[in-house]
Homo-oligomer: A and B are copies of this chain.
Amino acid sequence: MKAEVITIGDEILIGQTIDTNSAWISDLLEKNGIHVLQIISVSDKKDHIISTLSQSLERSDIVLITGGLGPTKDDITKQTLCEYFDDELILSQSILDDITKYFDSRKRTINKLTESQAFIPSKCKVIKNRKGTAPGFWFEYDGKIVVSMPGVPYEMKSMMKLVLHKLKKQFNLLEIVHKTVYIRGIIESHLAELIVDWENDLAKEIKLAYLPSESCLMLRFTARGSDRQYLENLINKNIGTLKSLIGPYFSKYQTRLNEEVVGQIMKNTNSTLSVAESCTGGNIAKMLTSVSGSSNYFNGSIVAYSNATKENILGVKAETIFKYGVISEEVVQEMAQCSQKLFKSDFAISTSGLAELCDSEGVKGGTICIAVATPLDIYSQTVTYNTDRDTNIIRASNEALNFLISVADK
């Protein structure tokens, strides 16, 4: 089963928007046994859309289109598909009702342009948009499928669930089994070296992918075949061998995100956690609170960007800052302990550093101090990054969580 993804919109072709939709769709299709042959971005021009669509349908069975469904003049996907399928637009009362309801709930009045979104191609099946006003369209033609969805990521993602369900029902897909293992404490090239023989001996049904991320390193096993149980056993057997081979690097927490691992540890040990952030500016709190149920163990954070806040609200001693400098392990240790006291938490994390790459007051840009306070001890470390400011903050936040994971697991 072969598919193509077409993204329509000038904003991608002039480089203003990075096309993240296509990667998301391709990942989802691939995981469900549909191979993506080509990804194409074209502009909002009728002839161009039509020739691209024809070529895609010559090569593939399924074409998923995103973008160009807005109510404004520059959005022409719907009209173009009508022309391609020799179809006409008719008013769908049910969609009009949905749009009216959507606007009513937001206390906004519907206008002619928005109303035009209720006109749909007569030959298509409508895919309802639960997150916005532009419906999606499912066309079938000559045994092939063309689906048109909005380009707004959360609208498209919500629609893709329905689309995938329909695709799975319509086609008899090969079984695909994916399994991901999580590896912490070793970098990609070192791991690859460590497992080179094991990797060469992998069964031919298994494909292995290295997926590095800011949180941890993942290895994804993919196996294709007709017998699901056989594929699952095969993958599990290989994971067993891998585990014995790499020992402690094989994370006992089977989840990518460090904030989720922290959540599991806090729940398992019935502990609470608080934060005091300087250079990470709220990012660690944001990561921790993104975990569902985090309110049960996360007591809160103080974003202490200025020295005044560090002293007056957090309670760090002015002399510590004066003596060691605000970017020092002494200061982050005190910040963590103050946060622990203030929030009455069992564990606390703190950061202070220069996220920017430019040096300042004798400190090298990218230098970040991190501390972790546990019920018994206090730990600290200094890291130096040389990526850009945003990346440095993401890396330091993950390092802080990894640091907590490693000391809490001792």
Residues of A within 8 A of B (CB): 10-20, 22-30, 35-43, 48, 52, 55, 70-74, 105, 108, 111-114, 131, 152, 154, 178, 187-190, 192-193, 199, 207-212, 220, 222, 275, 277, 281-290, 292, 294-295, 298-306, 308-309, 313, 342-343, 356, 384, 386-391, 393
Contacts and interface: CB of A to CB of B under 8 A. Distances in A.
A188 B70 contact: yes
Nearest to A391: B154
A12 B38 contact: no
Chain A at the B interface: mostly helix, strand, loop or mixed?
mixed
A13 B38 contact: yes
Contacts of A343: 309, 313
Given A13-B35, A72-B210, A298-B306, 14 more contacts: A11-B211, A16-B23, A16-B220, A38-B43, A71-B192, A108-B187, A113-B189, A281-B288, A282-B285, A282-B303, A294-B305, A299-B308, A299-B309, A302-B302
A303 B305 contact: no
11 contacts: A12-B39, A15-B29, A16-B220, A71-B189, A111-B193, A152-B212, A154-B391, A286-B286, A290-B393, A299-B308, A300-B304
Contacts of A19: 18-19, 22-23, 39
A370 B193 CA distance: 53
Given A16-B209, A71-B189, A43 B52 contact: no
